[in-house]
């Protein structure tokens, strides 16, 4: 029986600079499809809200998943759950030479994904996705958007889509270092730390889980980020709730600024490392579970 990857199977995050450049081409394709519309509910369009630092952070998740899939020798199509506009999953599938399937509950981001990446199969509901059909299944920065009571069932349903011998890769931010233990971003209603992520994955899948902590500038908390981000996010949450039309205008303006930063050819890409979850202070968590292989050869 094949079980979870051993601890030494660490994603090297090699050639992150090339990965960011390549992923930006897919982000640009989604941006051209989207146009000026604001469709970034719950962070579903990284290119719409992402500074260069944010884009690097997100690309690192998908690069790590691709590296783990290659190292484990899994094949078959990939499924990204909670994919948003699907740009980074499309880059990952292209990198792996695999077919792409996307699922997201937000109709606006699904429309962008289906138009920008017409070769992808796009679903509104995970129930419509075949069980046991995918060599690699990812759910990147999704579980923190779910209430704790809903997380086990969600992870079990996502894991059910993994083919025998395939991989499930889940990322989530560790927000324990922020002021008050929370980033203040309102959609994050179910944040977990590393031990909780491992327990969730192990209990939901019935398989051992490996958890890595991602370190480097996009995952670092200095004093400004530790204190300032929760304050800014709480203000943004209030504006989004009480003055939504202002939030749309501000969001569109911020996207233009972020896009200009993201598309700078000379923007440096910092080093990012995967370390043991108790061996660093980076805010990125990456959980990995491998499904048992078929018995009987």
Q: Which tokens belong to 217?
A: 């500038």
pLDDT, greater one: 6 or 165: 165
Is pLDDT at 261 greater than 70 in this prediction? Answer: no
Full domain range(s) for residue 270: 16-287
- Once rounded to an integer, what is the mean pLDDT over residues 192-219? 96
**Distance (Å) of CA 198 to CA 201, 250, 286:** 5, 37, 10
CATH code of the domain containing 95: 3.40.50.150
Helix 16-34 and helix 52-72, axial crossing angle in degrees, nearest 10: 120
High-pLDDT (> 70) share of the chain, % = 83
User: DSSP letters along 51-71, please?
Assistant: -HHHHHHHHHHHHHHHHHHHH
Q: In terms of residues, how long is the chain?
A: 297
Rg (CA), the chain: 18
Query: In this structure, is residue 295 part of a structural domain?
Result: no
Cα–Cα dist 50/249, whole Å: 16
Q: pLDDT (tens digit, 9 = 90+) per residue, 17-43?
A: 999 999 999 999 999 998 877 666 666
Query: In this structure, is residue 99 part of a structural domain?
Result: yes
CB neighbours of residue 7 within 10 Å: 10
Q: Which residues contact 179 (CB under 8 A, 6 or more apart)?
A: 226, 227, 230, 231
| SS3 track for 8-33 | CCCCCCCCHHHHHHHHHHHHHHHHHH
- Tell me the β-bridge partners of 169: 138, 288
Indicate the number of domains in the chain: 1
Q: pLDDT (tens digit, 9 = 90+) per residue, 109-161?
A: 999 999 999 999 999 999 999 999 999 999 999 999 999 999 999 999 999 99
Q: Name the pLDDT band for 296 (thresholds 50, 70, 90).
A: very low
| Residue 288 φ/ψ, nearest 5 degrees | -130, 130
Query: In this structure, is residue 6 part of a structural domain?
Result: no
Query: In this structure, is residue 9 part of a structural domain?
Result: no
Q: Name the pLDDT band for 263 (thresholds 50, 70, 90).
A: very low
- Tell me the β-bridge partners of 136: 78, 167
Contact 42/187 with Cβ under 8 angstroms? yes
Note the pLDDT of residue 242.
66
Cα–Cα dist 288/246, whole Å: 40
Q: Which tokens belong to 219?
A: 């995952």
The residue among 202, 176, 204 whose CA lies nearest residue 191 is 176
Note the pLDDT of residue 137.
98
Provide the 8-state DSSP code for 148: G
Q: pLDDT (tens digit, 9 = 90+) per residue, 179-197?
A: 899 988 888 999 999 999 9
Query: In this structure, is residue 3 part of a structural domain?
Result: no
Q: Is the dihedral of CA 37, 106, 51, 182 positive or negative?
A: positive
Residue at token pair 């270092």: 177
Is pLDDT at 257 greater than 60 in this prediction? Answer: no
Note the pLDDT of residue 294.
72
Note the pLDDT of residue 273.
95
Question: Lowest-confidence range among 184-193, 199-208, 265-274?
Answer: 265-274
Is pLDDT at 228 greater than 80 in this prediction? Answer: yes
H-type alpha helices, the chain: 16-34, 46-49, 52-72, 87-96, 107-116, 151-159, 194-205, 223-242, 244-262
Note the pLDDT of residue 221.
92
Query: In this structure, is residue 105 part of a structural domain?
Result: yes
Q: pLDDT (tens digit, 9 = 90+) per residue, 49-106?
A: 568 889 999 999 999 999 999 999 999 999 999 999 999 999 999 999 999 999 999 9
Note the pLDDT of residue 232.
83
Q: What is the largest CA-CA distance in the chain?
A: 60
Query: In this structure, is residue 4 part of a structural domain?
Result: no
Q: pLDDT (tens digit, 9 = 90+) per residue, 107-118?
A: 999 999 999 999
Note the pLDDT of residue 139.
98
Query: In this structure, is residue 252 part of a structural domain?
Result: yes
Q: Name the pLDDT band for 229 (thresholds 50, 70, 90).
A: confident
**Mean pLDDT score across all residues of the chain:** 87
Is pLDDT at 239 greater than 70 in this prediction? Answer: no
Q: Name the pLDDT band for 262 (thresholds 50, 70, 90).
A: very low
């Amino acid at each position: 029986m094949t079980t979870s990857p051993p601890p030494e199977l660490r994603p090297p995050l090699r050639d992150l600079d090339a990965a960011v450049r390549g992923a930006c081409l897919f982000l640009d394709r989604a941006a051209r499809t989207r146009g000026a519309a604001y469709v970034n509910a719950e962070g579903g369009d990284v290119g719409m809200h992402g500074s260069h630092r944010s884009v690097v952070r997100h690309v690192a998740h998908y690069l790590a998943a691709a590296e783990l899939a290659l190292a484990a020798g899994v094949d078959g199509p990939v499924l990204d759950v909670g994919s948003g506009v699907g740009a980074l999953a499309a880059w990952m599938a292209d990198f792996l030479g695999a077919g792409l399937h996307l699922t997201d509950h937000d109709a606006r981001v699904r429309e962008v994904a289906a138009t920008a990446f017409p070769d992808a199969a796009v679903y509104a509901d995970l129930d419509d996705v075949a069980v046991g059909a995918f060599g690699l299944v990812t759910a990147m920065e999704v579980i923190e958007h779910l209430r704790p009571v809903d997380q086990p069932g969600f992870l079990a349903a996502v894991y059910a889509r993994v083919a025998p011998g395939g991989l499930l890769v889940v990322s989530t931010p560790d927000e324990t270092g922020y002021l008050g233990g929370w980033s203040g971003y309102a959609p994050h209603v179910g944040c977990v730390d590393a031990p909780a992520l491992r327990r969730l994955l192990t209990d939901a899948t019935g398989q051992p889980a490996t958890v890595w902590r991602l370190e480097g500038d996009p995952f670092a908390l200095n004093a400004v980020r530790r204190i300032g981000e929760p304050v800014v996010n709480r203000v943004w949450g209030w504006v989004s709730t009480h003055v939504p039309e202002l939030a749309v205008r501000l969001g569109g303006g911020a996207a233009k600024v972020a896009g200009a930063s993201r598309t700078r050819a000379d923007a440096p890409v910092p080093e990012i490392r995967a370390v043991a979850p108790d061996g660093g202070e980076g805010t990125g968590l990456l959980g990995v579970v491998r499904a048992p292989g078929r018995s009987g050869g």
